[in-house]
Structure 1
């Protein structure tokens, strides 16, 4: 797998649950990097991306967590969306 910034592929925003903000010691969102897992396939059009469980990195403190989002709240985000929709 590899990682990518989901906002470069589509409109992407979510509320970071307080539990994860504490784990990340997040004081300012400017230090947070949001990444999505991409499972690479050959050809690349068969690859899938996980928008439903982003990885959030506190770049300043070098901490990261994977944040499972609520499927009902974020129904537009899939766990294995074909990347071909965004190429």
Structure 2
């Protein structure tokens, strides 16, 4: 095995570990049942979307795989912002009860 293959394997393992740990703590650190249910749903959608993105990166031919970064770069920050706003709304609702 050369350095490129080892780097790819190690990078994949570290990336998956970071995603799993981030997902775990995002769900664990919720304040109530509504927020927990929302975070589980949001995490599942994020894992599916990122997996689909990575599959397309590997399957699409060269000019198109680079264009795939444009919607990813727009939708990722938009999705994060939307999730954060919804979590704030849920926390407000749960603290009122």
Using the size of structure 2 for normalisation, the TM-score is: 0.24
Q: As a proportion of its length, which structure holds more strand? A: 1
Using the size of structure 1 for normalisation, the TM-score is: 0.26
Q: As a proportion of its length, which structure holds more helix? A: 2
Greater CA radius of gyration, 1 or 2?
Answer: 2
